[in-house]
Structure 1
């Protein structure tokens, strides 16, 4: 093969690798979102339950635990899944920018924005004189 053909194959391999990573991260994000929804459903079911002990599945084993302990555990799992989803979202944005760079296309404008925190919003309201 000549040099030009090798460069083309290398370029295509890089583009396809990054595109496959993007699809993989999207699938992982969907799986995490589904798991997070199941945790929320379980949390709501336990919150509305009057039982002192609740059966909970840990891996492949069912264990009976106190209700409050299960609530704390589920809340931690929900927070962890939120953090994992946010990290995946950031990685996904980076991979998408990398793919656009490889394809010699301009980066998407406005997709890197982050919402204001409550503290920043209050400061803006105070600065502009609104309540």
Structure 2
């Protein structure tokens, strides 16, 4: 049996929609994150948020069925608000961890939402260096 060293595969999604994502493969010792990803009460917060979204969607669908004339204006307002939130998050770094890869001069942003992380981020916290501050 050949020994294989552990490598992290990081897919970097570009900001512009027409560019292709880049895949970077690095050893875990070369990656530093600005804070811990694992959060004990993340699942409870996620479940509460999902329940709140379901209630809101139910109320909005009932409202949309009775008020069809204002539907385009409500949809336009929704997408304008989502765009504003996205721009605000991009410039204020709200909701992101800073990810540094040795040999790369850029600081990458890692979304704080733990829904995608293996074992709620425990595995990544154990593999990479955490530099708080």
Do they fold alike, i.e. is TM over 0.5?
no
* TM value normalised by structure 2: 0.29
* TM value normalised by structure 1: 0.29
Which protein, 1 or 2, shows the higher relative CO under an 8 Å CA cutoff with sep ≥ 6? 2
Q: Who wins on radius of gyration, i.e. which is larger?
A: 1
More strand by proportion, 1 or 2?
A: 2
